[in-house]
Structures are given as structure tokens and as C-alpha cells.
Structure 1
Amino acid sequence: MANIQLIATDLDGTFLSDDKSFDKALFRVVLAALKNKNIQLAIATGVHQERINVLLADFLDEKMAYVTNNGARVMNSDGRLIYERTIAMPILQNVQQLLADFPVKPSRGLVYSTDDTAYVPRAYADMIRNSRRRYFKKIILFDDLAEINEPIFKVTMNWQDFDETQFYDAAQRVLGDSVHITETGTGAIDIVPAGVNKATGLKALADNIGISMDGIAAFGDGENDLEMLRAVGQPFVMPGASIVGPFAPVMANNNHAGVLKTILSII
């Protein structure tokens, strides 16, 4: 197995504790250790860049790479955008029609995401809680998709007390291969461009810095991490995760800095 040259970690349920915090002092220790061994760190997440900028505000000068929106957008550690895939308007219209036809509306909201802006159908305006607002620079309400003139990386629909796999199955039937549909593990479904997942985003990053996927260790906990974990040389899964495979266990759960402790143990 190749030596580790890059470490990628999911955020929610993995790097972040349940309250979205993390051990900043230990993170500084880990960053120093990685720098000393010339190992890069990548955040590989379903969320958009602006949310990461809020969560990791104290560490944005640490030259990390970012695989965001479940692989639809990739920035290398120099801050250069190296990969980007968006959803074409005709496909967004198909998604909108599917949601209109689906009997159970996303009770926790519906967002069409750029990298810093949430486009929200006006009918869902009252679902935008203040806790969510801080993760977007702008929230723009719209009546018609034609009003959106920015590239959309991801559509997220979120339910409370509903088995979202029912929507997943309906979306698979209606949208087929025109998109990639993934469960986030938090009651939400993400729809991203076809052929896009965290593994494709990570591969674009690996190619950019000239390393093989075998030289990557990755940490995850949910369905949207599966492709990434299967693609890297050293995959690690959180305790109690819903996914199974030939993955090594993380030393502790997300509320006890499991990712950071495991990184220190493997480098």
C-alpha cells in the first residue's frame, strides 16, 4: 500500500461533532503533524464552500483542499478551482416537476445551491431557519427556475419524520442517469450532476497534485461517502456508520475527535 500523501475527511457525522464543533487545539496539532510529513488535507463534503468557511473560519489560511457539493466542485490547496460540474436547466426543470408530483413535500426545506447562494422556491421561504441562514452569503427567493442565472451545483430536499428513501426511489425512476442522487444520512437527499460523487472530485484533486488514489486515506460515515471510501487506498469508517465495507474503524466517534485521533495514529 502506498504511503499516505493526502487525507480526505467528510464533515457532518465524521469530522464535526453533533453540535458542529470540533477540537480546535487538537486540529492544530494534527495540521502541524501533517505539514511536517508533507501530507495534504482535503475536506470532502456534501456541503458548499461558504458553509465550510463558516465552520472552519479559524483555519482558512491552512492551505487545505476542498471537494464540495458531493464532488461537483474542487479547489486545490492553492485556492485554484480545478474541477466544476453543474446541473443543466432542463434537468433542474425535471427535478422541479418531480417534486411537484411527489405527494410528500420536503418539510425541512428545498434549496438549489450555488457555492455561496441558496435559491429557495418562495413556497419554502418559511422553512429557512436562522441556523441555516448563516451558512449562505445570500438567500434568494424565486417563483420560476428561469430566474436563476447562476450555475447550480446541487439541489437538496430535506424531510422531517419521513423515510426519504421513498423519494430517492422515485427520483431514480424519473431522473435515471441524468443526475447522481445520494442520501446524506441526515434526512436529506442531494441531487448533483450525473457522474459526480466524492470519488470523482477526489480523483480530480489527486490528478492535479500528481498522486494516486492509493496514496489517499479517507474518512466518512454515510452513503455519499461510499464511492470515495471504495476508491482510496486507506478508507476509514466512523463507529456505528450505516455503511459497510472493507473499511478500517475510526478510533472514536465524531463527538470524541475520532478522525483527528486516528490521523495522528496512522501518520
Structure 2
Amino acid sequence: MIRLALTDLDDTLIPFGSPCASEQSRAAIHATLDAGVRFGPVTGRLPVDMRWMFGDDEPCYATGAFANGQVVRVDGRTVKEVVIPASELSRVQEVLDEHGGGYLCLYDPWELGKISYVTRKEERLVGNPPPTYGDITQILPRVTEFSTGYVADGEPAYVKANIQTTCPADERAALTEYLCGEVPELGFVSPSAKAAVIDIVPLGWNKGDGVRMLAETLGLGIDEFVVFGDSENDLAMMSAARHSVAVSNASSAVAQSARWHIGSCRDGAVDAALLDIAAAAADGRMPAFMGGAR
């Protein structure tokens, strides 16, 4: 029986471009919770973003893995935080300032709207801004000028960083590969085929590690939780779960890695799957979309 349901948000639970989770999605989440099945987002988004993404409906995000698994929370309590040292992010800034193609962005995971571009090429940024320009108002010349209070090995550190790209969509993969070669201490992954963003992750920790920690903290076996995803940064969590599910709009890599397949995000496929999980839990069986008897 499934006791924990975990899902990516953008283009998995929430259609790209939608401002937040729908009432239908929140109702499905609460049906799951009412059936005794835990629910949680596993997302590149920040903990502070969950309030507006779920309309302050705290039970929907009290448990989950955020910032690509770098912040793991259970029942509103943070059980794990993984940070990236300033020196490694400074190297990303140097590469981008020299090579072009995008700009480093830093975020505070607990303060809404505390975001900054970090570049010494401010004139170039203003002349060729990424799609987020206007939403992010602060520009800093050095990583260490953005303070969040985290420290690693005696230097400032950060939970959430990404690259807001200015290159065409068909060049983002090449930029990602270039960054991997230039800054091998970090990982670079795409959170969405539609967003002009490359997420930065620490080597040795990702969404998959966040999922495993959630299951371990809750005392669950490999057959007792399910994950839903669509994009490259979901591959690690798909490999961490026996019951991995791809929506029909998922990338080919995610679709190939998933054990189970459902309809599209825009058709509310995850909502339907959550209701199926809730009904199955009440009957002590596996969900119908996983082959459980009705």
C-alpha cells in the first residue's frame, strides 16, 4: 500500500504558466491526507514559495523536499539542509561573465523575493536581460555580498542558486555541458523544458537523496512511496523510487525511466492519481493505475 505520495510541481502537478496549485489539486491532496497517506512536493522551488503556490494551505507542503532536495522537511520541521560554498558559486559567476549565455542568481529559501543577479557585467545584463529581468531587481558584483546566514567550512554558503539564461532554448543544453566541464564541483540540471533556467545542485545530493531521506525519516519501505515527475531534474528521484510515475508531457528520458505512466499535467492527471491512491489506501490495496484491483 502507498503511504507517501511525492510530486514535482512545475508541469507535473501545476501546468507551466499557472500561478499556483488549483483548488482541484489541493482537494486531491487533502483527500490523500485524509486517507492516512502523507503528501509532499519535491521541487526545485523554495520552501518560502510554497505559501503562494498552495494558497497558504500548509498541510499541502508541511512535508517535502525543496530546492532540488537541498531542504528536506517533515511535518513543518527541517530535517536536512545541504548548502553550496560561495567559492564554487563564484566560479560559476566567473564562467558566465566570461562566456555569456546567462547570469547567476542567488535566493534566500526563507525570505520571499530576496533574489539577486550576481554579475560584474551589469551593462550587458541590462542590455540583454533574461526573461526574469524586472522580477529580480537586485544586481550584485560578488556572491558573498548576498547574505543568507549559511556557512560551510568557514565561508558563506547558499541553499538555492540557478542560472537565468539569455541564450536560445536550443543552446541551453550546450551551456549546461560547458558549465559541467568548467565547474566540475557542481551539477547543472534543467528543471523544465519550458523555463529558461538551469538549476545548480551540489554534487552528491539531489532530489533522489531528498526522497530517500523523507522515506527513511518516515520509516517507509521502498514499496510504500510513489514519485511523480516530468523533467531532467526529476530523474534522480525517479531512480530512488520503485513506484516512479511520469506524466504524458514528461521528457523522453523521464518517460523511459518511469515504471508507471499517467495522463498530462494540464488534464489533472496527478490529481486523479492522488484520488486513486486515497481510495486504494482506504481499501488496503495498491492504486488502480499501478495495477491494483478496484
**TM-score with structure 2 setting the length:** 0.78
Specify which of 251, 272, 288 is matched with residue 261 of structure 1. Answer: 272
Q: Shift in Å at residue 46 of structure 1?
A: 0.8
1:195-253 CA-partner distances (Å, limit 9, x unpaired): 12111011122222211233110100001001101111211101031122243112x21
Contact 1:179 1:195 in 2 (8 A): no
Contact 2:206 2:236 in 1 (8 A): yes
Specify which of 203, 206, 227 is matched with residue 236 of structure 2. Answer: 227
Q: Distance in 1 between matches of 2:258 and 2:266?
A: 23
1:133-181 CA-partner distances (Å, limit 9, x unpaired): 6xxxxx64322223123231232113352321111111111122x1222
What is the total number of aligned residue pairs between the two structures? 252
Does residue 1:98 correspond to 2:110, yes or no? no
Segments of 5+ residues of structure 1 without an aligned counterpart are 134-138
Segments of 5+ residues of structure 2 without an aligned counterpart are 151-157, 281-294
Where 1:203 maps in the other structure, the secondary structure is helix
Contact 1:10 1:219 in 2 (8 A): yes
List, as ranges, runs of 4+ consecutive aligned residues in structure 1 with deviation greater than 3 Å: 61-64, 124-130
Q: Shift in Å at residue 88 of structure 1?
A: 0.6
1:56-101 CA-partner distances (Å, limit 9, x unpaired): 1241245631211111111112x11101011111111111111122
1:166 matched residue in structure 2: 174
Identity within the alignment, %: 21
2:283 matched residue in structure 1: none
The verdict on how the C-alpha distance between 1:148 and 1:98 changes in structure 2, with shifts beyond 3 A counting, is same
Contact 2:189 2:200 in 1 (8 A): yes
Of Structure 1 and Structure 2, the greater helix share is in 1
The verdict on how the C-alpha distance between 1:237 and 1:63 changes in structure 2, with shifts beyond 3 A counting, is closer
Instruction: Give the aligned CA root-mean-square deviation in angstroms.
Output: 2.2
The verdict on how the C-alpha distance between 1:129 and 1:90 changes in structure 2, with shifts beyond 3 A counting, is closer
Matches within 5 A, 1:1-267: 3-20=1-18, 21-28=20-27, 30-62=28-60, 64-77=62-75, 79-102=76-99, 104-106=100-102, 110-115=104-109, 116=111, 117-121=114-118, 123=122, 124=125, 128-129=132-133, 132=135, 140-150=138-148, 151=150, 152-160=158-166, 161-162=168-169, 163-176=171-184, 178-185=185-192, 186-242=195-251, 243=253, 244-250=256-262, 252-266=263-277, 267=280
